[in-house]
Structure 1
């Protein structure tokens, strides 16, 4: 018999309501599990007697297990390989930052240590982006809300997670209901994450973006644009054919009008494909009526899966200078973390044979930095 995660909110609410048990006990169960990962649910104190046989027979504190942990040589990045009860695997990446080190925008940065968790929403991905290792897996399955939240539980054993970015395996908005439910759990008691510290990344699922703000107000939206022209997008992102660029831009205009929030634009720099000066001008014209932060992402090698090459540093800086100078668009360059453990952007992939798997540039590692 397959058990449900105790963090699958709709499932446990339904069972409690049918049994006449108050759903007010659910957050108290979560609080105990958060403090005691992998505990037996009959150990949760102060519940009605009818709750215990129901919990033990149908739910587990965690339906997934931490299969392996790999540390990067950078000493701040940790990749978690999580095994689901279906025997499939997903990956999550913890990235740690110390804001007291160095400067930001030329000024000392107050604060202290913080950690961001890059979380997966699907096993594999059906988008098939040609520069992304996860796309080579194809789509296997959606994660439940509980399986998504369990990644946060596993990661919390290593670091105090302050930010969550849905930039791991899968297209989050193709698993919309589970994402919404998982975020609602993460931002409620006992997790209490701020909605402003959660970012959902998408290739541009137009119909889902249209309802995202009403379902998850104040959550950050990041759009994987990667090209300023629809034809180029379709070449490197086959799924973009279903979401024409003009329709996507119209949707983002409405989203921003309703949300009053910046939109983060992710743009992977591919040598000779989308990194030339005229691409930068096209991108600037495309975005100049929106309030955005463009994050230029150096391409991460994925072995034999791709023929792409990383843009050289000079081209990246020229690209950034054009967007800033001509179009007054804030543009950052993502600092790479975890490349050596295949934990960087676009490198997350699981297969059966590998279970372990300068100048004036503003270089940014953490989502909090580009939000400010």
Structure 2
């Protein structure tokens, strides 16, 4: 029998209500499990007596387990391999920053050490982006809201998590209901993450973007654009055929009008593909009427068979200077983290066949981190 995660909030509330138990006990249950992840649900204090047999028969404190954690040499990145109840695995990545070491608009930034967790929403991915290792897995299954939240629970045992980015394995907006439920749990008790410190990344699922302002207000949106025209997008991102660039831009204009929030644009720099001056001007014209931050991402190798090369530092800087100088678009060049543990952008993938034969996952990896 497969048990539900106690962090599958909708299922837990429904079961409690059907038993005549107030759902107000849910945050209490979650708080106890977060502080006692190895507990028996019968140990949760101060619940109605009828709650205990119900919890034990249908739920588990955690349905996933932390198979391994791997630290980068600089100790700024930790990659977590998390084994799910169905035998599949996903990866999550902890990235550590000290905001005082950087500058914003030429001024010292406030704050101090903080940790960002990059979370997976699916096992594998349907999008098949040619520059991303996760796409080589194909699509296995969606994660439940509880399985998404459990990644935060596992990471929180290692360090305090302040920011969450949905930039791990999978396309978050293709698992929309679970994504919304998971974020609602993360922003409530006991986690109480600020919605402004949560970012959802998408390749551009238009109908889901249109729903975000109502379902997840104040959560940040990041769009993996990666090219300034439809032909190049379709070449490197086959799923873009279903989401024409013109219609995607219309949805982003509508999103920004409704939310008044800036949009993060993810742009991976591929040598000779999308990194030329002409494309910088195309991108600038495409985005100049939006309030955006363009995050230029150095391409990370995803195996010897990759047909792409990393753009030269000179091309990246020239590209950035055009966006800034000609179009007054704020642009950053991503600080790459975790390459030595395959935890950088585009590298996340779990080799499931080797996992089954060796008893653990063989990590090739990728995950994006966004500076917020």
Pairwise CA distance, 1:253: 0.4
Q: Gaps spanning 5+ residues in structure 2: where? A: 356-360
- Greater shift after overlay, 36-45 or 199-208? 36-45
The equivalent of 1:37 in structure 2 is: 37
Q: 1:324-343 alignment to 2 at 5 Å?
A: 324-343=324-343
- Greater shift after overlay, 315-324 or 344-353? 344-353
In the alignment, is the contact (CA less than 8 A) between 1:123 and 1:143 conserved in 2?
Answer: yes
The equivalent of 1:353 in structure 2 is: 354
Pairwise CA distance, 1:74: 2.0
The equivalent of 1:282 in structure 2 is: 282
Tell me how far apart the structure 2 counterparts of residues 248 and 99 of structure 1 sit (CA, whole Å): 33
In the alignment, is the contact (CA less than 8 A) between 1:70 and 1:356 conserved in 2?
Answer: no
Pairwise CA distance, 1:110: 2.6
The equivalent of 2:138 in structure 1 is: 138
SS of the aligned residue for 1:161 comes to coil
The equivalent of 1:367 in structure 2 is: 371
Aligned residues: 362
In the alignment, is the contact (CA less than 8 A) between 2:128 and 2:238 conserved in 1?
Answer: yes
The equivalent of 1:360 in structure 2 is: none
Q: Deviations over 1:309-360 (max 9, x none)?
A: 0000000000000000110000100000000100001100001226142xxx
Tell me how far apart the structure 2 counterparts of residues 170 and 306 of structure 1 sit (CA, whole Å): 20
Residue 169 in structure 1 maps to residue 169 in structure 2 = yes
**TM-score normalised by length of structure 1:** 0.96
The equivalent of 1:118 in structure 2 is: 118
Identify if the C-alpha distance between structure 1 residues 233 and 184 changes in structure 2 by more than 3 Å, giving closer, same or farther: same
The equivalent of 2:63 in structure 1 is: 63
The equivalent of 2:358 in structure 1 is: none
Tell me how far apart the structure 2 counterparts of residues 83 and 222 of structure 1 sit (CA, whole Å): 27
Runs of 4+ in 1 over 6 A off after TM superposition: none
The equivalent of 2:100 in structure 1 is: 100
**TM-score normalised by length of structure 2:** 0.96
Pairwise CA distance, 1:38: 2.4
Tell me how far apart the structure 1 counterparts of residues 261 and 339 of structure 2 sit (CA, whole Å): 31
Residue 214 in structure 1 maps to residue 214 in structure 2 = yes
Q: Deviations over 1:269-312 (max 9, x none)?
A: 00000000000000000001110000000000011342100000
Q: 1:1-372 alignment to 2 at 5 Å?
A: 1-351=1-351, 352-353=353-354, 355-357=361-363, 367-368=371-372
SS of the aligned residue for 1:181 comes to helix
In the alignment, is the contact (CA less than 8 A) between 1:136 and 1:305 conserved in 2?
Answer: no
Pairwise CA distance, 1:112: 1.4
Tell me how far apart the structure 2 counterparts of residues 49 and 108 of structure 1 sit (CA, whole Å): 55
In the alignment, is the contact (CA less than 8 A) between 1:97 and 1:366 conserved in 2?
Answer: no
Q: Deviations over 1:167-213 (max 9, x none)?
A: 00000000000000000000001100000000000000000000011
Identify if the C-alpha distance between structure 1 residues 41 and 305 changes in structure 2 by more than 3 Å, giving closer, same or farther: farther
SS of the aligned residue for 2:165 comes to strand
In the alignment, is the contact (CA less than 8 A) between 2:165 and 2:369 conserved in 1?
Answer: no
